[in-house]
């Protein structure tokens, strides 16, 4: 089944008892929306902390999928993706604060690089410092160095 793409970006957020984090996240999206047409989908895994009521009351523009049980992070993300209509899908954790132009930079990068299948934003700590979140693809030499006696002997280092 192919989707009818009628917007540029779908933002999927999975929640489970993270009302305060989700409120900060959705508020940051409201304050820093992308310039492209977008939708927000929250998939709630049967929260008991008032998350669903918060989304319904404060964020009526958000599509809410309420699960009758906790289906797990991966399954809930897949539900959101299946429901989405965007050309691009952005999986966003509820504790994330979206900064100004961040989503536009990602969309612009994907538009300019059609050969790229996935990308992500730079992660920042609360103090603004960069959070280490990426590594190079493992190489045979790197695996040998990090998981063998070769590291102790300083072989393959470099």
Supply the pLDDT for residue 70.
97
Supply the pLDDT for residue 153.
58
pLDDT tens digit sequence for 21-61: 999 999 999 999 999 999 999 999 999 999 999 999 999 99
150 has pLDDT over 60:
no
CA distance readout (Å), 60 to 5, 19, 40, 42, 56: 22, 15, 10, 11, 5
Residue 87: φ, ψ to 5°: -65, -40
Q: Which domains does the chain have, with CATH numbers?
A: 7-112 (3.90.550.10), 124-158 (no CATH)
Are 62 and 26 in contact by the 8 Å Cβ rule? The answer is yes
What pTM, to 2 d.p., does this model score?
A: 0.81
């Amino acid at each position: 089944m192919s989707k009818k793409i009628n917007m540029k970006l779908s933002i999927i957020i999975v929640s489970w008892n993270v009302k305060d984090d989700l409120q900060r996240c959705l508020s940051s999206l409201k304050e820093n929306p992308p310039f492209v047409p977008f939708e927000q989908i929250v998939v709630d895994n049967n929260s008991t902390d008032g998350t669903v009521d918060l989304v319904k009351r404060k964020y009526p523009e958000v599509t809410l999928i309420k699960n009758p049980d906790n289906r797990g992070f991966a399954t809930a993300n897949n539900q959101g993706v299946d429901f989405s209509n965007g050309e691009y899908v952005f999986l966003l954790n509820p504790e994330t604060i979206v900064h100004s132009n961040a989503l536009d930079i990602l969309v612009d990068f994907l538009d300019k690089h059609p050969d790229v299948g996935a990308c992500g934003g730079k992660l920042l700590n609360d103090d603004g410092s960069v959070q280490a979140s990426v590594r190079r693809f493992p190489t045979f030499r790197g695996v040998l160095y990090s998981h063998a006696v070769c590291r102790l002997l300083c072989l393959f280092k470099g």
